[in-house]
Amino acid sequence: MRISKKAIAVVGIAALAAVALTGCAGGGGGAATGTPILVNSITDTKGFPEAAAVAAEVFKEYNAAGGFNGHPIVLKTIDAPTGDVNAAKNGAADSINSKDVVAMVGSSTFGECAINHQSYEQAGMVAFQGVGVDTFCFTTPNMASANNGPLFDIYATAWNAIKDGSVAPCFVANSGDPSTSYGYTQVVKLITERTGVKWADVEIPQQTAANDYSGAVIAALGHKCDALVFGGVHPVVAAMIAVVASQGSKLPVYVQTSCYDPGFPADPAVKAYAGKVSVPAEFAPSDDASNADFNKVVKKVAAAPTWSYSFEQAGYLAAKDFIMTLEKVKGDVTRESVAAAAKDDATWPDKNPMRGNPWVFGSGNEHQANSSTYLAEIAPGSGVWTSKGPWLQAADMQWTNIPAVPPAG
């Protein structure tokens, strides 16, 4: 399989040269008949391709069924690798300069919200983030994410640890920017204020090119924690769990929803771990009946075995959220009318059963649109997630939104 992919890549380079020489440029086309409704997605196609790929498939089905009043929705994915600020900036500038693009849907590039949030605000363009990572994805008037984001999610993660009886949890989460560092420190404070449980240790190492957080984990372990709350994506957290194991510990580990994919429990480091691993999944667990349509869609996407289930769900829901908003639009579909419909607080339909709460864009300056989690666990050595539930709502946990930067003054 891989070998044929390589062949494709080689042919691809040749084709790129050919196309560049002839000056042609490709473009997507919809199957439906009307003027297409254009939406763009800024995605790290080699890092986090799931959301945009699944969202595009959702639109394909939607268009096949007639589209929006006969207008197909066309999603264009703009590649912006993690760390390629210029690509993310150009992607946003292109989308904004192209007046026919009505919204951003299903974007998932690390840090894209922080890079572009101000541009979208200035241009009056709304963004339905697929996988929103940095805190600006949740604190910008024009952006609402399908997922629940690292701050809400790690709050729920810590909540679960304390609910399980932890009285001295340790917190280790890597942060790629000052805003996220600030957010994490606020989460740490908030949870203590809400539960009265003091942290045994808090480590917020900066994410750097080295991408190694063993030192922080070991430092935390030195403080007699009774539970470990880890923030990060699958490879980073799996590495952290390997560090815990290497120090002879089998403390219960609480991880973020980005680890909720079948690959994580099967990861050798996780599978070998002697302690319990627990996650507050942001969407319905994979064995839930509400995923039936999603499972059908995702089968049509040529997903790689390493793709994240959670991110795929996020892309599916971002597309559905956009369609839901579109159906609220009065008059012509333009950037302005889509934004108006999104920011309208009234008449949002009932929740999609894949989420624990109704998803609303709305007029607020902050959008914790997805604010519920579903508990899942890995029994030591089992290699699979076991759904536990039930849905846990923001109100149950006394969650309050956290700004991206300290309030002025």
Identify the H or E element spanning 336: helix 335-343
* Residues 244-273 close enough to bind another protein by CB under 8 A: 245-248, 261, 263-264, 267-269, 272
The answer to whether 130 and 108 are in contact (CB under 8 A) is yes
CB of 256 to another protein, least distance (A): 13
* Residues 10-69 close enough to bind another protein by CB under 8 A: 12-13, 16, 19-20, 25-28, 45-50
**Residue 193 burial (CB count, 10 A):** 10
- Under the binding rule (CB under 8 A), the answer on residue 182 touching another protein is yes
Taking the mean position of all CA atoms in its chain, how far away is CA 321?
14
**Residue 96 burial (CB count, 10 A):** 19
Backbone angles phi, psi at 107, to 5 degrees: -65, 140
- Under the binding rule (CB under 8 A), the answer on residue 295 touching another protein is no
Which of 87, 369 has the CB closer to another protein? Answer: 87
Residue that the structure tokens 């349509």 belong to: 293
CB of 278 to another protein, least distance (A): 19
Q: Which stretch binds another protein (CB under 8 A): 155-163, 277-285, 305-313, 389-397?
A: 305-313
| Euclidean distance between CA atoms 201 and 189, whole angstroms | 12
**Residue 346 burial (CB count, 10 A):** 8
Tell me what percent of the chain is helix, strand and coil, each rounded to the nearest 5. Answer: 40, 15, 40
**Residue from 4, 22, 97, 347 in contact with another protein (CB under 8 A):** 97
Looking from the CA of 404 toward its CB, the CA atoms found within 13 Å total 21
**Residue from 33, 35, 69, 98 in contact with another protein (CB under 8 A):** 98
| Among the listed residues 94, 53, 71, 78, the one whose alpha carbon sits nearest the alpha carbon of residue 303 | 53
In the DSSP assignment, the letter for residue 374 is E
In the DSSP assignment, the letter for residue 397 is G
Q: Which stretch binds another protein (CB under 8 A): 236-244, 333-341, 342-350, 383-391?
A: 236-244
| Euclidean distance between CA atoms 139 and 368, whole angstroms | 8
**Residue from 11, 14, 64, 178 in contact with another protein (CB under 8 A):** 178
**Residue from 4, 22, 210, 330 in contact with another protein (CB under 8 A):** 210
- Under the binding rule (CB under 8 A), the answer on residue 96 touching another protein is yes
**Residue from 159, 254, 307, 361 in contact with another protein (CB under 8 A):** 307
**Residue from 38, 39, 58, 87 in contact with another protein (CB under 8 A):** 87
Which of 1, 289 has the CB closer to another protein? Answer: 1
Q: Which stretch binds another protein (CB under 8 A): 95-103, 144-152, 319-327, 390-398?
A: 95-103
| Euclidean distance between CA atoms 153 and 159, whole angstroms | 10
CB of 36 to another protein, least distance (A): 15
The string of DSSP codes covering 244-288 is HHHTT----EE--GGG-STHHHHSHHHHT--S-EEEEESS--TTS
* Residues 369-408 close enough to bind another protein by CB under 8 A: 404-406, 408
Which of 11, 395 has the CB closer to another protein? Answer: 11
CB of 308 to another protein, least distance (A): 6
Which of 201, 321 has the CB closer to another protein? Answer: 201
Residue that the structure tokens 């997630």 belong to: 385
- Under the binding rule (CB under 8 A), the answer on residue 103 touching another protein is no
Q: Which stretch binds another protein (CB under 8 A): 211-219, 342-350, 362-370, 392-400?
A: 211-219
CB of 305 to another protein, least distance (A): 6
Cis amide linkage into residue 280, ω under 30° from 0: no
5-40: string of b/e by CB count within 10 Å (b at 16+)? eeeeeeeeeeeeeeeeeeeeeeeeebebeeebbbbb
Q: Which stretch binds another protein (CB under 8 A): 78-86, 149-157, 282-290, 358-366?
A: 78-86
- Under the binding rule (CB under 8 A), the answer on residue 176 touching another protein is yes
CB of 115 to another protein, least distance (A): 6
Interface size with another protein, residues (CB under 8 A) = 114
**Residue from 30, 72, 91, 356 in contact with another protein (CB under 8 A):** 91
Which of 99, 351 has the CB closer to another protein? Answer: 99
